[in-house]
């Protein structure tokens, strides 16, 4: 019986253990360029089997928060190159999370101050982070405009270009497509945000179309074995809602099963919150069974609120990888701490979003 600490394979990625650093937004990348200390931050955490970067915008249009990084400019790719080199030097593996926020944005963050884009012109009841004079603050997201169907191939192409640049130029081991948490691809999946009447709205097949086009474009550029995807069937994050998530997500994973992905990353329950939502029931075992029955061979990665005991149990019950979020903010040597049953440092919420080294690279490892 494998444990959390045994090596494994996810597609083409050979991982030293089954502990993953979840993607964590940190808002420390002015002009969308990862700072030099990002290399230190990620390298400090390189004993994880896999590091997933913070969500990283594939285009200016895909930006929704102040000071989050991108993958669409030379200096951004150079910044990431410094990160991947430091992580590889420390013996780690790192993939970048490809992000288009869709409607979860603000005019001030968009090209020419324009409207954010979305499946439908429905404002998300959520907030984004704007940093003014160095001080982060939460503001309402702006009213979006509905994407025209002829704009969608350009977005698919942008995901593909970002994936290619990530691997070929920035030196990443692969990519994770951000299909979760109420951002663009999740907005298309769920009928609460998608009221389109073209081929990208209405039926489950239609709402799934954009995500699958993106996955196919990315895998054709860099290979399925270096591509993962993150999904959040029931999270209320960013006003995401679908009245009938089980058949929707069972369909999504059955379709993904044919694309030979490295891994499927599932957020169970509310992102960063309760694992069980009585008002939004969901059968995760059935989801995994749908994927395996359809021939899916990718690693099954679970996330949300895991501690040592719950993670050990998940691996016993057949999870291949367990992603830890907040514990990784405060514990660069989380793998060692979990293995030794050592106490964990407590993350400081005040320094999650924005700032510099404090609360970023200064959490102590065990002596
Ligand atoms: C926290 C703050 C801003 C963005 C996500 C990318 O939830 C995020 C995010 C999280 O996936």
CATH number at residue 102: 3.20.20.70
Instruction: List the domain range (segments joined by +) for residue 327.
Output: 8-351
Number of domains in the chain: 1
Q: Is 104 in the pocket of ligand 1 (CB under 6 A)?
A: no
Would residue 84 count as lying in a domain?
A: yes
Verify whether ligand 1 is closer than 6 Å to residue 271 (CB atom): yes
Nearest of 99, 6, 85, 50 to residue 328 by alpha carbon: 50
pLDDT per residue over 144-166, tens digit each?
999 999 999 999 999 999 999 99
Residue 177 lies in a domain: yes
For the stretch 64-82, pLDDT in tens is: 999 999 999 999 999 999 9
Report strand pairing: 299-303 vs 127-132.
Answer: unpaired
- Residues 86-107 have pLDDT tens digits of 999 999 999 999 999 999 999 9
Give how far Cα 346 sits from Cα of 27, 273, 285, Å.
Answer: 20, 17, 31
Q: Is the pLDDT of residue 1 over 90?
A: no
Average pLDDT, the chain: 97
Q: Look at ligand 1, atom 1, and give the residue with the nearest C-alpha.
A: 25
Q: Is the pLDDT of residue 133 over 90?
A: no
* Whether the predicted pLDDT of 135 surpasses 90: no
Residue 132 has pLDDT above 90, yes or no: no
Distance of CA 349 to the CA centre of its chain: 20
Question: Is residue 58 within 8 Å of 99, Cβ to Cβ?
Answer: yes
Q: Is the CB of 55 under 6 A from ligand 1?
A: yes
User: Within a 13 Å sphere around the CA of 64, how many CA atoms are in the beta-carbon half?
Assistant: 28
| 42 in contact with ligand 1, CB cutoff 6 A | no
366 assigned to some structural domain: no
Closest CA to ligand 1's atom 10? 25
In a domain, 363, yes or no: no
> Is 92 inside a domain boundary?
yes
- Asked whether residue 99 is assigned to any structural domain, the reply reads yes
Mean per-residue pLDDT, 131-144: 90
Indicate whether 142 pLDDT > 90: yes
Structural domain contains residue 1: no
Answer yes or no: is 43 within a domain. Answer: yes
The model's pLDDT over 277-328, given as tens digits with 9 standing for 90+, comes to 999 999 999 999 999 999 999 999 999 999 999 999 999 999 999 999 999 9
Q: What percent of the chain has pLDDT over 70?
A: 100
Determine the pLDDT at residue 136.
82
pTM to 2 decimal places: 0.98
Enter the DSSP assignment of 258. G
């Amino acid at each position: 019986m494998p444990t959390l600490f045994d090596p494994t394979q996810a597609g083409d990625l050979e991982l030293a253990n089954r502990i993953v650093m979840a993607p964590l937004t940190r808002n420390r990348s002015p002009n969308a360029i990862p700072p030099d200390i990002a290399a230190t931050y990620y390298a400090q955490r390189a004993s994880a089997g896999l590091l997933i970067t913070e969500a990283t915008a594939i285009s200016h249009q895909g930006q929704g928060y102040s000071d989050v990084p991108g993958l669409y400019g030379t200096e951004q790719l150079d910044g990431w190159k410094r990160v991947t080199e430091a992580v590889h030097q420390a013996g780690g593996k790192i993939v970048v999370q490809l992000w288009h926020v869709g409607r979860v944005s603000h005019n001030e963050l968009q090209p020419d101050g324009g409207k954010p884009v979305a499946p439908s012109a429905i404002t998300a009841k959520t907030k984004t982070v704007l940093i003014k004079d160095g001080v982060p603050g939460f503001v309402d997201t702006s009213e979006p405009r509905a994407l025209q169907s002829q704009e969608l191939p350009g977005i698919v192409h942008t995901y593909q270009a970002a994936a290619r640049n990530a691997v070929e130029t920035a030196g990443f081991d692969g990519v994770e497509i951000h299909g979760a948490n109420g951002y663009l691809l999740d907005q298309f999946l769920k009928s609460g945000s998608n009221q389109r009447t073209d081929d990208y709205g209405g039926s489950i097949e239609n709402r799934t179309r954009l995500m699958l086009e993106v996955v196919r474009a990315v895998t054709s550029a860099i290979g399925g074995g270096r591509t993962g995807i993150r999904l959040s069937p029931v999270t209320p994050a960013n006003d995401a809602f679908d009245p009938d998530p089980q058949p929707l997500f069972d369909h999504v994973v059955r379709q993904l099963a044919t694309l030979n992905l490295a891994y499927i990353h599932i957020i169970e329950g509310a992102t960063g919150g309760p694992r069980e939502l009585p008002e939004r029931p969901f059968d995760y075992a059935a989801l995994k069974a749908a994927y395996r029955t359809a021939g899916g061979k990718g690693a099954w990665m679970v996330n949300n609120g895991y501690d040592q005991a719950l993670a050990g149990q998940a691996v016993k019950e057949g999870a291949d990888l367990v992603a830890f979020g907040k514990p990784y903010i405060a514990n660069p040597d989380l793998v060692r701490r979990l293995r030794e049953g050592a106490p964990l440092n407590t993350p400081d919420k005040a320094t999650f979003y924005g700032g510099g080294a404090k609360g970023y690279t200064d959490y102590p490892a065990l002596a």
